Structure 1
């Protein structure tokens, strides 16, 4: 069995996908690299097929009709045979030295009979156009150099959400929890991280800058204009997360609080962009989203609404919008929106 399976969802990725593949190939025989061509119309499939022929013991190539990022991840997970599973987007890459350290640590944990459910490493926002990068780490939130549980976690800052780029899940856990991402929808990475959390019992945090998250293309889903244009998809993902589980019924207090914090972020992001759009329709969608949360889970609604950002998201008129604009400027620095 391979130690780590990595899915690379690709859609018209001919210009940059080889960088991602080459950095992952440094993991050698411990790696299973699954390139999923999601119905590309350029040379993506040809490039992927060539790599699969050159590295038949490491690389799998799967072509499918276009189903979106989520469906490509679903395909990669279904094909994964490695003990652990990670997603690396085709325009991103990994640091080779950090990958070697991560594989070595995973290998040692398995050898010691300490196969953890969730392995976490740092990620880096890379903005070549501005010659800047920003490391997102978890040193103040998570214990280091040991296996730990939810009871051991510390305080998460607003910038320390465990996003897909930081997460390596045990493959069987993802399959056992029934993870399946919606097709033709952006922002599914939030479901990828969020849904398995109640199944996680053991974790390990390695303080290395493994994942390099490229920011700067105009067509990226996190581009501000695209987030406003695709706000209905952001709302859809948020509602799926609301409906997924009664968070307030979770017994472990720290797990419950973390999942509330994550959902608060989702409600905030949706509300911010609806307010920034500032149309009668968008403001009605914001109102409907908060009503949806209230109707779905009154206790959860009160918990999120009572948080500072939650209250500001529901304030009417110019005062509310000014508070949101201020919060948005801060959020851009925290979350790396372009």
Structure 2
């Protein structure tokens, strides 16, 4: 059995997907690479098939009608045979040295018979246009180099969240928890990391810079202009997450607090961009989102609203909108746009 399955969702990715594949190939036979061609109309399918033919023991190419990033991840997970599962977007890549260290540790834990639900490693914002990269780590939040539980969590900074790029989940856990991402929607990575969390009992954090997250393409979903343009999809994902789990009922206090913090971040990001758009329609959408939360889960609404960011998103007038800039800066850190 393969140690790690890596899904690469690809849509018209011919110009850059080879870099992602080549860096993952350094994992050798410990890895299976599942290239999911999501209805591309360029040479993506051809490149995927060429790699699958060249590395039949490592790479599989799967072709499907266009269903969006979430459906490509669903397909990758459906076909995954490895013990662990990771997603690497086609315009990103991994650091080869860090990948080897992560694989060695996973192999060690498996051979020792230790149960691990979630492996975490650092990710790096790569901005070649300005020759800049920024490492996002969890050294203040998580114990290092040992298996730990939610009770061992230290402290998450306001801009510090577990995101898809940092996560390697146990494949069976993802399948057993019923993870299913919506089609034709951006920002589904939030559901990918959020939904499985109540099922996670054991974690391991390595302070290695594994994932390289490319920032700079105009068509990226995290481009600020695109986030404003696609705000309805951000709102849609936020509502799915509100309805996903009644976090108030989660018994573990640290897990409960983290998931509330994550939802607070989602509410903040949506509110920030709706306020920045500053139209009658956008401000009405902001109010509707907060009303949705209150109606769906009154106790959760109170907890989020009473946090600083929650309150600041609902302050009236110019003073309130100035405070929103705090939320905007946090959003920049989370999503890496400039």
Into which bin does the TM-score normalised by the smaller protein fall? over 0.9
CA RMSD of aligned residues (A): 0.9
8 Å CA contact 1:88–1:165 kept in 2: the answer is: yes
Q: CA deviation at 1:330?
A: 4.8
Q: CA deviation at 1:325?
A: 2.5
- Rate the CA distance shift 1:205–1:326 in 2: closer, same or farther, 3 A: closer
The aligned residue for residue 111 of structure 2 is 111
Deviations 1:241-293 (A, max 9, x none): 00011100000000000000100000000000001111111100000000100
Q: Does 1:139 align with 2:143?
A: no
Runs (4+) of structure 1 moved beyond 2 Å? none
Task: Summarize the alignment of residues 177-256 of structure 1 with structure 2, pairs less than 5 Å apart.
Answer: 177-256=177-256
8 Å CA contact 1:142–1:152 kept in 2: the answer is: yes
The aligned residue for residue 172 of structure 1 is 172
Q: Give the Cα separation in 2 of the matches to 1:100 and 1:4.
A: 12
TM-score between both structures, scaled by the size of structure 1? 0.99
The aligned residue for residue 28 of structure 1 is 28
The aligned residue for residue 284 of structure 1 is 284
Q: CA deviation at 1:144?
A: 0.8
Q: CA deviation at 1:318?
A: 1.6
Task: Summarize the alignment of residues 45-56 of structure 1 with structure 2, pairs less than 5 Å apart.
Answer: 45-56=45-56
Q: Does 1:259 align with 2:247?
A: no
Deviations 1:88-130 (A, max 9, x none): 0000000000000000000000011113000000000000001
Deviations 1:167-221 (A, max 9, x none): 0000000000000000000000000000000000000001100000000100000
8 Å CA contact 1:67–1:183 kept in 2: the answer is: yes
Q: CA deviation at 1:160?
A: 2.0
Q: Give the Cα separation in 2 of the matches to 1:333 and 1:264.
A: 15
- Rate the CA distance shift 1:334–1:67 in 2: closer, same or farther, 3 A: closer
Query: Structure 1, unaligned stretches of length 5 or more?
Result: none
- Would you say how many aligned residue pairs link Structure 1 and Structure 2? 338
8 Å CA contact 2:120–2:206 kept in 1: the answer is: yes
Q: Give the Cα separation in 1 of the matches to 2:53 and 2:192.
A: 30
Q: Give the Cα separation in 2 of the matches to 1:179 and 1:89.
A: 18
Q: Give the Cα separation in 2 of the matches to 1:191 and 1:107.
A: 27
8 Å CA contact 1:305–1:311 kept in 2: the answer is: yes
8 Å CA contact 1:136–1:159 kept in 2: the answer is: no
- Rate the CA distance shift 1:334–1:50 in 2: closer, same or farther, 3 A: closer
Q: Give the Cα separation in 2 of the matches to 1:5 and 1:37.
A: 16
TM-score between both structures, scaled by the size of structure 2? 0.99
Range that drifts further, 209-218 or 316-325 = 316-325
